[in-house]
Chain A
Amino acid sequence: MSKNKDVELKNFFIFNSLYGPKEGEELKKILYYYPISDNADVQIKNVGLVEGIIQFTGTFKPSTPVNSLHTQKMRQLYFQPEKNMWIVLTLTLPTEVKGKDSSTQIEYLEDDVQDNVYEAVLKQAYYTYRLFWGTFEHTIENHDVGTLKTRLESFYKAYLKTLKLGHADILNVFHGIQYLPLDKLTFLKVQCFINSLECEYPEIAYTAFLYNDHLIWSGFEPKDMKIVYQYLIGTLLPANMEAELQGGSMPRNSVSPFAALHHGRFITGPTNLKTAKNVGKIPKVYLFASGKAESYNLVVYRALSASVCLFMRADKELSLQYFKDMDEFISPKLTAIVSDISEYCSKQVITPSNVPENAPRFIYFNKLNLAYKSTAHLDNKQTGNIACTKESLKIMADLNNKRSLLGHSSETIVKTMNDYWVVAKNSNSREFYVALQQKNASLIDISEEIKKLCDTELKGIFFHPL
């Protein structure tokens, strides 16, 4: 009976006003437009509104270009990643049907769509494109506008389908990386392995080492890493996990774990070295942290739960033999390391599912290395698999949004109408959010609880005493 609707994508478009300055040429401004079911008139009208808003707001010299438009029924978010280039994401607001059968009323839930969350979604859409194709300007300079349009079309057609708008939350705002803390010895082994690999193959510019969804080592800027990380754990690795589970290249029926030491394979490049005739598909990626775009071939090698991502200088020709050699080099070393890591992890890791039901759930984020940890989310696939209420996550995002007004260190405790609590701590570029479902607790109890939690979970991390 419930006709409540979740947030939905209404349209998504990219335009440059300089491309069609004359009347009648407005369509030329549009570089990409989704959905195609909107006819040219609608497209031109929508772009026109955005242009009007950009101009109108510019009159008042705000601190940044326009971010968003709120109307009764929809939300529009703006991002200007490059000069004169605008990306626009329009969402229809979620609705709730209020009242009884006779007099139902549709209510649009404006506050349920949080600007900071969806702004992050929009930005990620651009940065992911840029990872594979470089900047818009780059394509126009090296090719032409037509090529840019084709690239945008093929990229976003697929990308927009993967958006999980309904489950976007504060983690999108952080856009962080989950690290795997290791003991010194194991970490040193990983480090040694990477060093010897990079020595042996000087074509490798950077290396990143992941175990499951967790990053252990990355040799390049976190700013770039977070985009690569999102791509790896959001797209590339899950696709390969599926292949593995369906009995792909993993030797599933090996007699003994020691019998088949050759576990690894490339998941970009020649994925099956025995049958490969050529090097296969190797994605080209662009990294930007150095200030200008630099392109690399992204080769990912996976063994058991570990993934080694190699950023190879683009000018180096890669042959099949090269991959075969590298496989010989990596496989035995990596297999040994992975078993060390998994042994260490099995002693340490508590999976979120065996934490008691009403234990406090927290999210930690460090802006400096982009590390995050969440016990409020049961996986990191953005499927809405969460261990606290959706509302708590929204309150966390509210508090995150207000953070800048509070200075460099603060603590906020709030109690909701349903009598649960949300706490936000912020200090030294680190943020810590906790959701507590303790109905009859007092403010004093909650303060105590938070102190305890900080002592156990944030040992060694300095929070300004407040």
Chain B
Amino acid sequence: MSSNLEVEPGAASESVLVTTDSFDNFDHMSSSLEEIKNLNALAENDSNVENSNVENFDEISENLSINNEEDDFVQSKEWACKNKHVFVLSMAGKPIYSRYGNEDKLAWLFGVMQTLVSFVQSNEDTIRSIHAGDTKFVFLIKKPLILVAVSRTQESVNQLCSQLNYVFNQIASVLTLTRLNKIYEQRQNYDLRRLLAGVERLIDHLLDFSEKEPSFTLGAVQCLSLASSVRDNISSAIVGACSKIKNLVFAILLANNKLITLVRMKKYCLHPADLHLIFNLVQASESLKTAESWTPLCLPRFDASGFLYGHVSYLAEDCQACLLLLTVERDVFFALSEAKQRIVEKLRRSNCLEAINESLSAKEETCIVAGFPELRHYLYKCKSTAQFYQPSLTPPYTKYNERLTKLYKRAHNLLHCSTRPLKLLFEKNSDEAILAWDTRGFELYVVFEPLIDTNSAINSVGRLLNWIKKREEKLFHLNAPTF
């Protein structure tokens, strides 16, 4: 097996994404924005940044109708037994978000959660989690907010914590962390919901998204399969159209939750966690499909203190890939709009739109088609580029996708236990067998038919790694193009 260690499909010397452990606390926020601005000697007035509002978000939250139905709902068994509740509150106990039920009706519950947190804090300690049978209560205290998950999903405390972190980042991405802190410095009792109209929908979507998508568990993104020449063409089309525009930090092209290409300013990288927020924004906002839009966006891992401004648009009626051009300039919409037009034209001429469409409509190969009948499914993550690949689902998981997700999450958790991490896990039961393997270069999770014996499992893994290696240029984004 050790010989396979040399094969490390998808590895590249330079990565478009920052590569870190998916569980690290997001406390370390860089201050890239300042750097970029200073670099370009632009005397931006920072106070303006704080005044910018969320009104650019096109959808207004639904009316918070408070009626008796709501009352009954939050007291009902149905509400209590939801698979995963998520609550966000301020340090003072003010309700900000509840995944199910109206926050106002749950004010008492928010009060209890705040009390628990501050009670434990009074002993110079921090509450982490409570366990009761099948239910886990996970607390994440990220000043000035408290986030709580109540979950029956069998996910580990770390995994739930990481989801709460995403929720926090989603909020920070709309307001910036700096502004969030300032608000509560000024008024502890502030009702943040006033500023978060429309964001609830993003959080809802983010939670659904992070429960299902392996990318969140792995801390990686999946790329759209494209011939490397096509991907290079696309990248160079973007570079060509945008190289003259100053202060453009990232250009991201994505489709169907997969990355097509990412062009970046030299020296700056995007963290997968930030990219997940972008994916979420694009997925959750149907309105982006109809018109070009201009939106402020804070990427907390990149710089939590200020906004980037994004030109967001789909490439064309006949090509549903979404292009985001992120800049530090607040008033270059038209320049970016023109650049986008040039990019689309170029891509059309070089038949790249067709190639994208083709790849979008063709599903990834299943394990059987790829010549691995004993395999049901797998996840391969290349650590150095923070990218992963998975084949299409096959039965039984087309029907029981949730079970597969649970299986991966459990294996991932065992491998990444903070004090007892594991290198290898091979687990068989009457339903399936899973082999999870963590090496310096990659993580691999392979699900087999239940009756597989060890020899053939090892054999398949070796063949699989070679199979991926052969296709790495197509499956992964290996160049890290810059403007």
Contacts and interface: CB of A to CB of B under 8 A. Distances in A.
A66 B129 contact: no
A414 B425 contact: yes
A62 B133 contact: yes
Contacts of A115: 131
B240 interface: no
- Choose among A62, A109, A391 the residue with the greatest number of B CB atoms under 10 Å from its CB: A62
A415 interface: yes
B132 interface: yes
A65 B427 contact: no
B423 A67 contact: no
Nearest to B451: A466
A447 B454 contact: yes
Interface in A62-113: 62-74, 109-112
B115 interface: yes
B109 to A, nearest CB: 7
A186 interface: no
Interface string A46-69: 001100110111011111111111
Contact of B426 (A68, A109, A413): A413
Nearest to B82: A60
Contacts of B77: 61
Given A59-B109, A409-B429, A444 B455 contact: yes
Nearest to A115: B131
A444 B425 CA distance: 13
B366 to A, nearest CB: 25
Contact of A63 (B85, B128, B134, B450): B134
A183 to B, nearest CB: 36
Contacts, number: 158
B134 to A, nearest CB: 4
B436 to A, nearest CB: 9
Contact of A111 (B120, B419, B428): B419
B420 A408 contact: no
Nearest to A395: B420
Which has the most chain A C-beta neighbours within 10 Å: B2, B132, B419, B431? B132
Given A67-B132, A72-B126, A407-B430, A59 B80 contact: yes
Contacts of B422: 395, 414-417
Contacts of B133: 62-65, 67
A111 B225 CA distance: 40
A336 to B, nearest CB: 50
A398 interface: yes
A415 B424 contact: yes
Chain A contact surface mostly: mixed
Interface string A387-415: 00001001100100010011111111111
A443 interface: yes
A69 B410 CA distance: 21
Given A442-B1, A466-B450, A57 B137 contact: yes
A464 interface: yes
A413 B425 contact: yes
Given A411-B428, A415-B423, A61 B81 contact: yes
Contacts of A395: 420, 422
A49 to B, nearest CB: 6
Interface string B440-480: 00000000001101110110000000000000000000000
Interface in B110-156: 112-113, 115-116, 119-120, 124-135, 137, 150, 152, 154
30 contacts: A49-B120, A53-B116, A55-B112, A56-B116, A60-B85, A62-B132, A62-B134, A62-B135, A62-B152, A64-B134, A66-B131, A67-B131, A67-B132, A68-B130, A69-B127, A69-B131, A71-B128, A72-B125, A73-B125, A110-B128, A111-B419, A398-B414, A410-B428, A419-B423, A443-B1, A443-B426, A443-B454, A444-B454, A444-B458, A466-B428
Interface of A: 48-49, 52-53, 55-57, 59-74, 109-112, 115, 391, 394-395, 398, 402, 405-417, 419, 442-444, 447, 464, 466
8 tightest Cβ-Cβ pairs between the two chains A and B: A64-B133, A63-B133, A62-B135, A62-B132, A410-B429, A415-B424, A447-B454, A66-B132
